Amino acid sequence: MQNLQMNDHIDELIDILFDPTARIDEQDDAASYLGEYNDNRALSALIKAAQDPNTDDWLVLDTCAESIADIWMNRNSFDNDVYNTLRKAAKISIFYHIKAAKPEWIEKYNIKID
């Protein structure tokens, strides 16, 4: 039962993240909370938002990127293929977030901002 409730919460956060009528602070909070879950649906939604050229708010894009980095660090796995599909602003955020928390990954995964 607990797992079902957590999944329902993730779905609600994803809905808020992509709701065009949601306030920026609500979308930003949703992106931040999604980063706390080691869930593929949460990660996929954050990646989709960080790839989307319509995600124009810098705050939301930055929080999505930090949440992606948090999930990758919690999984101890960096995904270069996905990283290379993200918008440049998201890459910058991920780069510096990882550099602060796991600086050895910069060289290990050859993480660059191009």
How confident is the model over 21-46, as pLDDT tens digits? 999 999 999 999 999 999 999 999 99
Q: Which domains does the chain have, with CATH numbers?
A: 2-108 (1.25.10.10)
Say how far apart CA 48 and CA 64 lie, in whole Å. Answer: 9
What does pTM read for this prediction? 0.92
How confident is the model over 48-59, as pLDDT tens digits? 999 999 887 899
